[in-house]
Amino acid sequence: MSVDPRFPQALLDDEAVAGARVLTSLAGRPDALVVLGSGLAGALDEAWGAPVGAVPLGDIPGVVAPVADGHGRELRAYETNGGVVLVATGRTHLYEGLGARPVTALSRAGVAAGISRAVLTNANGCLKPWNLGDVMAITDHVNLSGASPFDGPLFLDVSAVWDAQMTGALRGVCQREGTYAILRGPEYQTMAETRILAGLGVDCVGMSTVMEAITLHALGVRVAGMSVVSDLSFADAPTDPSAVVEAASAARQTVVAGIEAALGT
């Protein structure tokens, strides 16, 4: 895809370039970036073995170390299928009050380092009668966070953020597919909000991923996403953060298969 030069000018600043130097020091120029959401930090340990390099996320310029439960705090580099894949074992969220810049810092550094593909994962609150541990291939999103990676008159077409070929590969692995909505958080949605979101056609809701996806898309990176059903938003019981992490952990095998399928396209 062609890239409007205004977006690299706005996003690939000195901070991103400095971050890229850290990333390339791990194993050379990377081909892809994977971001692991809640409860998924060690998902690739068994499948891909020991990383060839690693660095604390907080040591990368512009990146803030994750603080949410269930998130790792390390960036790892793996050599797989003849290429280098960077894997973030956790992420920063808008609800931490830092704004979109730190949330997208790793994505921007990854692009400056050379990535051309990305797979983003998260845990969600599900608005459908699905099962805990189901994995949804993200086919579209709704940005209800009130935030954007950009400031000023930078008008980006976001009608096709999620790469069709990579998402097609996920369909052969994931139990579900659908639309993901981002809310800023950190509070979960009310029952009234849940009904409204479901009426709008949203399948799952969370507090991450969309800022990264928009940023990567603006910079010409092919993006795919998976969202793990870790809370049933229509359930009578209150949402338990530890249960969210536990449900996401149970989906690791599917998530790993999805990552490998998407990166194989």
Number of H helices, E strands in the chain: 9, 9
Cα–Cα distance between 102 and 201 in angstroms, integer?
30
pLDDT for 27 equals 96
What 3 state SS string does 86-152 have?
EEECCCCCHHHCCCHHHHHHHHHHHHHHCCCEEEEEEEEEECCCCCCCCEEEEEEEEECCCCCCCCC
The two structure tokens encoding residue 207: 């507090």
The two structure tokens encoding residue 23: 């990333």
Do the Cβ atoms of 119 and 169 come closer than 8 Å? no
The two structure tokens encoding residue 125: 């609150």
pLDDT for 82 equals 87
Q: Over the chain (265 residues), what is each successive 10-residue block's mean pLDDT? A: 88 97 98 94 89 97 93 95 95 95 98 98 94 96 96 92 98 98 94 94 98 98 96 68 72 95 93
Q: What is the pLDDT of residues 206-233, one digit of tens each?
A: 999 999 999 999 999 999 999 999 888 7
* CATH T-level topology, domain 6-263: Rossmann fold (3.40.50)
Cα–Cα distance between 217 and 11 in angstroms, integer?
12
If you search the block for the tokens 């409860």, which residue do you land on? 39
pLDDT for 122 equals 96
List residues bridging with 69 in a β-sheet.
none
Element (H, E) at 231: strand 222-232
At 195 the three-state DSSP class reads: helix
The two structure tokens encoding residue 157: 């077409």
Do the Cβ atoms of 48 and 76 come closer than 8 Å? no
Cα–Cα distance between 235 and 249 in angstroms, integer?
20
Do the Cβ atoms of 258 and 82 come closer than 8 Å? no
pLDDT for 240 equals 66
pLDDT for 38 equals 87
Cα–Cα distance between 197 and 58 in angstroms, integer?
34
Q: What is the pLDDT of residues 165-213, one digit of tens each?
A: 999 999 999 999 999 999 999 998 899 999 999 999 999 999 999 999 9
Whether residue 186 is preceded by a cis peptide bond, meaning omega within 30 degrees of 0, is yes
